[in-house]
Amino acid sequence: GQQLNQSPQSMFIQEGEDVSMNCTSSSIFNTWLWYKQDPGEGPVLLIALYKAGELTSNGRLTAQFGITRKDSFLNISASIPSDVGIYFCAGSGGSYIPTFGRGTSLIVHP
């Protein structure tokens, strides 16, 4: 099935560093979603974006809905060990059914 292009595939960083990951699509989306998944659990919604150009924050997390409506990025500032996990982007168009990226695995070294 179709999946979005999400990069990087994995990141190894030091505690306190900032992180940036992005997602691109060949299709135009009306909604971008960012999720985090811990081992053995389902994805948990972090941020939802509904408008092109929108910039939204949730604590240390900031996400933007690209102007072209074909991309989005997620930034995490001042990373901490509990940020470890797999981050997924998801986009949806008229069908309201999100298509997910392949995920970015984040490892934070204390």
Q: Which residues bind other proteins (CB under 8 A)?
A: 1, 3-4, 6, 31, 33, 40-45, 48, 50, 88, 90, 92, 95-103
Report CA Rg, the chain. Answer: 13
Whichever of 42 and 110 has its CB closer to other proteins, that residue is 42
As measured in angstroms, the least distance from the Cβ of 72 to other proteins is 14
Query: Least distance from C-beta 102 to other proteins, angstroms?
Result: 5
Handedness of CA 54, 68, 10, 37 (dihedral sign): positive
Q: By C-alpha distance, which of 51, 54, 71 is closest to 62?
A: 54
Give the nearer residue to other proteins in terms of CB position, either 14 or 26: 26
In angstroms, the CA 66 to CA 54 distance is: 8
- In the complex, the smallest distance separating the C-beta of residue 76 from other proteins, rounded to whole angstroms, is 19
Nearer to other proteins, 14 or 97 (CB): 97
State how far the Cα of 80 lies from the Cα of 39, in Å rounded to an integer. 17
